[in-house]
Amino acid sequence: MPAANSLARRLGAEFLGTFWLVLGGCGSAVLAAGFPQTGIGFAGVALAFGLTVLTGAYAFGSISGAHFNPAVTVGLTVAGRCSVKDLLPYVIVQVAGAIAAAFLLRYIASGAPTFDANSLAANGFGEHSPGQYSLQSAILIEIVLTAFFLLVILGVTDRRAPPGFAALAIGLALTLIHLISIPVTNTSVNPARSTGPAIVMGGWALKQLWLFWVAPIAGGILGALVWRWLGGGAKE
């Protein structure tokens, strides 16, 4: 990330980018997915999440690096791409942006007569999984998909990668991740994205939130370690 950008500007970009991700991704699920005739469905929600990251990365990547995700920030730190001193501030503003977007989304959604306060695109397992998938399935898929997400991010932002295409590849990767895992956990791979809706909803969403911190961060660390083992970033 450019050294000329102050920490305050970088944190502002991370707040706005994470806000955009939750508003666009979760908003598509809450506001647009459920209509029987015109709803966008799982595939539309998956695309919406990918588009938020793609557009957010192009908008804010030159300022903050466009993490928008505590698991990504942790993974990039382990991989040596992010300063340790930036880790906690980045995570704090990412979570704050997600919470702000979730509250705004709840307010917008409450304007419909069919509004259900228990349906805010929260992540869950067991009876709260869209497909009733078990805790074990949820943990495994969140770890593996977050690890591969980090591998994609690290690969396409490597200095040897073709310039200009990183945001596109990252957005498509997140779309694919959602196509795979929406039925299992409603797709997290991002603790901030999970925290916003969980705080607004409370109840079971908060009780299950621990998994959507532990598994994505474990996956982010795993992806970074695999990348380092592969020699990613090593001089030719």
Report the amino acid identity of residue 88: L
Query: Containing H/E element for 15?
Result: helix 7-27
Residue 2 located in a structural domain: no
What domain range includes position 87? 7-229
Give the CATH number for residue 131.
1.20.1080.10
Tokens of 99: 């919470």
Residue 234: inside a domain, yes or no? no
Write down the pLDDT at residue 39: 72
The total of structural domains in the chain comes to: 1
pLDDT at residue 99, as a whole number? 98
Predicted pLDDT at 234: 57
CA dihedral (164, 74, 128, 152) in degrees, to 10, reads 30
12: how many CB neighbours lie within 10 A of its CB? 17
163: left (phi over 0), alpha (psi -120 to 50) or beta: beta
The distance of Cα 211 from the centroid of its chain, to the nearest Å, equals 14
Looking at the domain assignment, is residue 236 inside a domain? no
Query: Does residue 59 form part of some domain?
Result: yes
**CB 55, CB 20: distance < 8 Å:** yes
The candidate with the shortest Cα–Cα distance to 158, out of 226, 229, 234, is 234
Position 1 in a domain: no
Q: How far apart are CA 69 and CA 73, in angstroms?
A: 6
Q: Are 128 and 172 in contact (CB under 8 A)?
A: no
Q: Is residue 235 a part of any domain in this protein?
A: no
**What's the confidence (pLDDT) of residue 55?**
97
Query: Sign of the C-alpha dihedral, residues 158, 61, 217, 211?
Result: negative
Q: What is the DSSP letter of 186?
A: S
What per-residue confidence (pLDDT) applies to 1? Answer: 44
Mean pLDDT split into 10-residue runs, the chain, 236 residues: 76 98 95 70 94 97 96 97 96 98 95 82 96 98 98 94 91 98 97 97 96 98 96 62
Q: What is the pLDDT of residue 132?
A: 96
Distance CA(125)–CA(127), nearest Å, equals 6
Task: Specify the pLDDT at position 2.
Answer: 47
